[in-house]
């Protein structure tokens, strides 16, 4: 008798509570779903570099095989392309030829390689075998790689004549992309 009374009260109350629960559930679930949907197509590994548009971090590094250090500050007024690479990085092989060729065809643009976590001897051997039209610099403690926010290699920075980073490119470059991005960096200097 009393059990029946309790269950009838519960039955009366049930729909109202359920609606509240549904509204609350949607209020929580909808924003989460929206974030999920908005980011579905995004590469979880790609992080926009905060350096783009900012002055390029300064460095002064010794070239592979020794010699006088190359300082970025000394290149002010020139468009600079800085390619972080390593001999152990397979995509770097592919783009090495494209970079070498682009550096030959763009005498007004200063190309520089910065060696990322690699040994000088192996790097020198790589460059001897494959040839290069621009200097590669050693970054022994990885300070410059850290300053440039490197996640892996290859990563390439296009710097305008004011020493500002115009573009950061992650992954292997082809000739067309190099020319286009170098032209954009050159345009920024005017």
Partner 1 sequence: MTLVALALTVLASAAATPPPPATPEPGIGVPRGPQLSGPQLDARTDDIGALLRCPVCQGLSVADSPATMARNMKAEIRDKLAAGYDQEQILASFERSYGEFVRLEPPMRGVNWLVWIGPLAGLLAGGAVIARALKRSPPQSADAPGVASATSPAFDLPSRDTLPADARLAAAVRRVRTLAYGWPDGISPKERS
- By the criterion CB under 8 A, which residues form the site for partner 1? 2-3, 5-6, 47-51, 54-55, 57-58, 117, 141-143, 145-152
62: left (phi over 0), alpha (psi -120 to 50) or beta: beta
Minimum CB separation of residue 188 from partner 1 in Å reads 20
Minimum CB separation of residue 77 from partner 1 in Å reads 20
- The CA distance from 84 to 113, in Å, is 6
Strands 79-85 and 155-159: antiparallel
* Coil vs helix vs strand at 155: strand
**Quick one: 79 or 144, whose CB is closer to partner 1?**
144
Number of DSSP helices (H) and strands (E) in the chain, helices first: 5, 7
Minimum CB separation of residue 5 from partner 1 in Å reads 8
Minimum CB separation of residue 67 from partner 1 in Å reads 23
**Quick one: 57 or 63, whose CB is closer to partner 1?**
57
**Quick one: 103 or 172, whose CB is closer to partner 1?**
172
**Quick one: 46 or 105, whose CB is closer to partner 1?**
46
Minimum CB separation of residue 162 from partner 1 in Å reads 15
**Cβ atoms within 10 Å, residue 65:** 14
**Quick one: 47 or 71, whose CB is closer to partner 1?**
47
Q: Would you state the structure tokens that stand for residue 128, as one six-digit string?
A: 């001897």
SS (H, E, C) 49-93: CCCCCCECCCCEECECCCCCCEEHHHHCCCEEEEEEECCCCHHHH
């Amino acid at each position: 008798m009393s059990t029946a009374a309790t269950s009838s009260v519960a039955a009366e109350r049930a729909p109202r509570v359920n609606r509240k629960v549904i509204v609350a559930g949607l209020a929580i679930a909808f924003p989460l779903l929206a974030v999920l949907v908005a980011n579905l197509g995004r590469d979880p590994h790609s992080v926009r570099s905060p350096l783009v548009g900012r002055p390029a971090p300064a460095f002064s590094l010794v070239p592979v095989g020794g010699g006088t250090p190359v300082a970025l500050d000394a290149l002010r007024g020139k468009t600079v392309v800085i390619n972080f690479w390593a001999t152990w990085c397979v995509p770097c092989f592919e783009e090495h030829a494209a970079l070498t060729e682009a550096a030959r065809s763009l005498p007004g643009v200063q190309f520089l390689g910065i060696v990322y976590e690699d040994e000088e001897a192996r790097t020198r051997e790589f460059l001897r075998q494959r040839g290069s039209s621009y200097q590669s610099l050693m970054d022994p403690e990885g300070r410059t790689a850290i300053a440039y926010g490197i996640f892996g290699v290859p990563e390439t920075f296009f710097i305008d004549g004011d020493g500002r980073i115009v573009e950061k490119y992650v992954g292997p470059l082809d000739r067309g992309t190099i020319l286009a991005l170098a032209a954009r960096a050159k345009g920024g200097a005017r």
